Amino acid sequence: MKKYSIVIAILISCFSFAQDKDSTATFKKRVLDATEVDYLISYYKQDGIHSAVSGGMGSEKLTDLASNIVVSMPLNADDILTVDVGISAYTSASSSNINPFNGSGASGGGGDDDKNVTEPYGTPWLASSGASAEDQLVSINANYSHSSDSRNFIWNADVSFSNEYDYTSIGFGGGIAKLFNEKNTELSLKANAYLDQWRPIYPTELHEYSKYGSNFLNTGYFAGVTVYDESANSSTSYLPSKFEPWQTVNRNSYSLSFSFSQILTKKLQASLFFDVLQQEGMLSTPYHRIYFADKPNYYIGQTQYIPVYETAENIGVYRLADDVERLPSTRFKIPIGIRFNYYVNETLKVRTYYRYYSDDWGITAHTANIEVPFKLSDQFTVYPMYRYYTQTASKYFAPFETHLSTEEYYTSDYDLSKFSSNQYGLGASYVDIFTKAHIWKFGLKNIDFRYNHYSRSDTLEADIASMAFKFIFQ
Amino acid sequence: MNKVFGLLVVLALLSSCTAVKEYEKEYINDPEMKLAAKTTERYDVTFQVYREAAAGANGGKTGGGCGCN
């Protein structure tokens, strides 16, 4: 603590000293000359074998198409209003298996409780016809910023809203930034709060249990449906008695972000980021199934696939859950990041980033990133990039069917497991400072494209391609 | 942790040494030298936040949204 106090004292003294020397505010230039519009679009796909919806096993196939329009408007010489509107549409094999049973369906109610005459079947390895196979996320964020006459002090405030079928988020925050030392040094502080709310959807079998109680095998979805045990004999013993619907459905996140940027030489600058994040409420995902090692197994579907349940050969049987994941109602995270950007020469620059992360769920992570922009001409730049990431497992994580029913907290979500990942790709950007191409009164200033392949040590593979167009109002 | 704070001290000391003048910032003002993620990188960061436990300390969004799929 004493050490940190000394550091803070040094920082304050440096900034005070630096501030005295600042004499750059000789004239007032507009912070933003004209309205700018960014149009962004992205396509993401992934596949893996550790679906959290199926208890840490099964298809993780997912595609996501996202698009945003960001409009930055100068309100006067000092103030900017930025509005960011986005929509994202996904299809997910994993999510579809909230209700894994084809030809039937009771998950979440909502009018899909009609029963089919054929025996229902499903598999963790393929998408079902469940309604939860796809969803859309819409979001809007508005940010207002004001710069002082000297341009050495900036404050901003923002509000945000996002919504998807089972989740709504409302956020607000604000920050200040101070530039010192002839704008060689910048110190900023930002605070944000997100007040989120779940509308929980539970796996079909648990939803029916919570709706009809201990007689649920004879009512609702399960009436007339045969449940099998591990030996493929019909059974009426399935009872997920540990399952209880969540009572608290809010998830609040609070963050305090500190950043310090410094021009070190004419060709080198660095930035340090330090965040403190606190989350409270329902931090579990209500449709992530758990299968306990000390509970018998029960299935719905085609019994010939029971012996190969854990392989992709299973195309017709689904195991009924014992519970959903249970995680603590608080989480405290501390990430610290640092960037170094170096101008080698007119053709070549090097952008680097490192982050250390730790939280009280037992996860420690390291992230290292390098990007090397290579200028081909005044208009074209290409930038190869590489990112390495590694994390330890959460103390609440265990693989498929290894948790015990006596535990208080449990998850089989492999996003909380121990793994490392490699991400590599290539970007390209086009700049036209004269904005010769036009759409109506907007001149095209910049096009940026990037593609990355992501490979995780637990076999998850993903690809993402993004594109951005920047227009200037003329 | 101590190393990071050590680095902070070094940066702080450097900040009070010599300042690069405005007319000397030609290299620093190059668009590729920005100390922030690129516009298109936001989607990379979003999926990384969903697929990995670590988040934050990159100047970006620090919360909100589900990221459950």
ipTM of the complex: 0.86
The first and second tokens of residue A360, run together, are 């009280």
A442 backbone dihedrals φ, ψ, rounded to 5°: -110, 125
User: Cβ atoms within 10 A of the Cβ of A94, count?
Assistant: 26
Is the pLDDT at B61 greater than 90? The verdict is no
Interface of A with B in 145-204 (CB under 8 A): 160, 162, 164, 166-167, 169, 171, 180-185, 192, 194, 196, 198
- The total of other beta-carbon atoms located within 10 Å of residue B43's CB is 26
A292 — contact with chain B (CB < 8 Å)? no
At residue B13 the predicted structure's pLDDT band, cuts being 50, 70 and 90, is: low
Q: Which residues of B touch A46 (CB under 8 A)?
A: 47, 51
Q: Which pLDDT belongs to residue A427?
A: 97
Q: Which residues contact A387 (CB under 8 A, 6 or more apart)?
A: A367, A368, A369, A370, A421, A422, A423, A424, A452
Q: What pLDDT, on the 0 to 100 scale, is given for residue A115?
A: 44
CB contact under 8 A, B35 and A450: no
CA-closest candidate to residue A166, choices A210, A205, A136, A128: A136
Band (pLDDT 50/70/90 cuts) for residue A28 is: confident
Q: What is the mean pLDDT of residues A396-400?
A: 97
Q: Considering only A129-143, A169-183, A326-340, B32-46, which range has the smallest mean pLDDT? A: A129-143
Tokens in use for A99? 């209700």
Calculate what percentage of chain A has a pLDDT beyond 90.
80
Are A265 and A29 a contacting pair, CB within 8 Å?
no
Q: What's the total number of domains in chain A?
A: 1
pLDDT digit string (tens) for A373-386? 999 999 999 999 99
Q: What is the pLDDT of residue A96?
A: 87
The pLDDT value given to residue A114: 44
CA–CA dist B66, B69 (Å, integer)? 8
Lowest mean pLDDT among A118-132, A394-408, A443-457: A118-132
A152-166: per-residue pLDDT in tens?
999 999 999 999 999
Q: Please, which residues bridge with residue A139 across strands? A: A86, A162
pLDDT in the model for residue A95: 85
Nearest C-alpha of chain B: how many angstroms from A71? 13
Cβ–Cβ of A336/B57 closer than 8 Å?
yes
pLDDT on residue A434:
82
- In sequence order, what DSSP letters do the residues of B4-65 get, joined into one string? HHHHHHHHHHHHTSPPPPGGG-TTTTSGGG-SS--TTHHHHHHHHHHHSS---SSSS--S-S
Confidence of residue A15 (pLDDT cuts 50, 70, 90): very low
Q: Which of residues 443-462 of A touch B (CB under 8 A)?
A: 448-450, 452, 454, 456, 460, 462
Please judge whether A343 and B33 are an interchain contact, meaning their C-beta atoms are less than 8 angstroms apart. Answer: yes
CA distances from A453 to A351, A414, A427 (A): 19, 19, 12
Which pLDDT belongs to residue A112? 43
Would you say A49 and A419 are in contact if contact means Cβ atoms under 8 Å apart? no
Task: Write down the residue that tokens 């499903």 correspond to.
Answer: A122
* Interchain pair A10, B12: CB under 8 A: yes
Residues A427-446: pLDDT tens digits?
999 998 888 888 888 899 99
CATH number at residue A8: 2.40.160.40
Best residue of A14, A63, A387 to probe chain B, by most B CBs closer than 10 Å: A14
Among chain A residues, the shortest Cα distance to B47 is held by A44
CA atoms within 13 A on the CB side of A332: 1
Q: How far apart are CA A43 and CA B13, in angstroms?
A: 44
Which of A334, A364, A367 is closest to A353 using CA atoms?
A: A367
Find which of A341, A359, A455 to mutate to test the B interface (most B CBs within 10 Å of its CB): A341
The verdict on a CB contact (< 8 Å) between A196 and B2 is no
Its domain, for residue A301, covers 2-473
Q: Write the DSSP assignment of A363-413 as a string of letters.
A: -EEEEEEEE--EE-SSSEEEEEEEEEEEEPPPTTB--TT---TT-SSBB--
The rounded distance, in Å, linking the Cα atoms of A393 and A396 is 8
Residues in chain A with CB shorter than 8 Å from the CB of B53 are 357, 359, 361, 363, 365, 391, 394, 415-416
Q: Which of A425, A438, A436 is nearest to A44 (CA)?
A: A425
CA distance B23 to chain A (A): 10
Residues of chain B found within 8 Å of residue A333, distances taken between Cβ atoms: 55-56
Where are the domains positioned within chain B?
A: 32-57
Residue A42, chain B, CB below 8 Å: the answer is yes
- CA-CA distance, A122 to A317, in Å (whole number)? 5
